[in-house]
Amino acid sequence: MENQSPYYERHIFFCLNQREGGEACCAPHGAQAAFDRCKSQAKAQGLLGAGKVRVNKAGCLDRCAGGPIAVVYPEGVWYSYVDQSDIDEIVESHLRDGVVVERLLTPPTVGR
Chain residues in the site for ligand FES (CB under 6 A): 15, 17, 25-26, 60-64, 67, 69
Nearer to ligand FES, 51 or 108 (CB): 108
In degrees rounded to 5, what are phi and psi of residue 6? -65, 150
Nearer to ligand FES, 16 or 48 (CB): 16
**Angle at CA of residue 3, ends 75 and 10, nearest 5°:** 25
Cβ at position 17, least distance to ligand FES in Å: 4
Nearer to ligand FES, 8 or 81 (CB): 81
Cβ at position 1, least distance to ligand FES in Å: 34
Cβ at position 32, least distance to ligand FES in Å: 12
Cβ atoms of 31 and 83 within 8 Å: the answer is no
Nearer to ligand FES, 11 or 96 (CB): 11
Beta strands in 17-107 (DSSP E): 53-58, 69-73, 77-80
- 55 bridge partner residues: 12
Cβ atoms of 57 and 68 within 8 Å: the answer is no
Cβ at position 103, least distance to ligand FES in Å: 20
